[in-house]
Amino acid sequence: EGIGESSVRALAKLEQVLPNRLRRRVGALGAFTVPMLHGQDASVVDPGLLTELAAACRDAERLRFAYRTHGGESSRRTVEPHRLVCTERRWYLVAWDLEREDWRTFRADRITPTPPHGPRFVPRPPPAEDLAAYVSQGVAVSAYAARAVILLRAPVAEAAQRISPSAGVLEAVDADTCRLTTGAPDLTVLVIHVLMMGIDFEVIEPPELTDLMRDARERLTRALDGP
């Protein structure tokens, strides 16, 4: 049976009554996971995999694994694991990729460990203080060809109730507005995404998105006014 974010929290509460060996494994899950609280629980992932990844983060031990991409291609990775981050629907491992010499974010359900692991390493400074925002940026923005910055006419706390962390990165501008950085496969998808948020907005960039918004407005006007 798989494990979601709420299950991890429940396991962490059992830590104080478990035998020492199990307590150490469960404790790693609580100490080396970062939640992004929004919406439904995360998709289930093999609990043995999560505890293995969390233990490697705790012990600062290099990990070796096969990683499957969205397209089904597989590659071998050797990384220095830092933290597990739970988004609204996914678990991600934030780690330093030794071959690529850069920080990478890996979907946990696409990881197949290939032990033996090790050796130990000296942890590097993390890629960001706010790892939840860092993963959100990578998942919701960097991976997409089309990107946009939108000014939302709502306080950041209100916008966060409407917009999933996996849909973009929110930053407060002032007490009444915030900025959304988001991405999508193409700008047409972004038009739909932004309009469906139910918040007044202004497109900051790119200008091509504004043009598509105007086209959408004209089509809606013609549809509503009739022939």
Average per-residue pLDDT for the chain: 81
Domain containing 220 equals: 144-225
Q: What is the mean pLDDT of residues 117-129?
A: 93
User: What are 168-182's pLDDT values in tens digits?
Assistant: 888 899 999 999 999
Residue 91 phi/psi, 5-degree rounding, is -100, 135
Q: 171 to each of 94, 140, 149, 152, 178, how far by Cα in Å? A: 22, 14, 11, 10, 6
User: What are 49-78's pLDDT values in tens digits?
Assistant: 888 888 899 899 999 999 998 778 899 999
Same domain, 35 and 122: yes
pLDDT over 60 (residue 12): no
Residue 61 inside a domain? The answer is yes
Residue 132 inside a domain? The answer is no
Same domain, 148 and 120: no
| Number of domains making up the chain | 2
Distance between alpha carbon 36 and the CA centroid of its chain, in Å? 8
Q: How far apart are CA 56 and CA 155, in angstroms?
A: 39
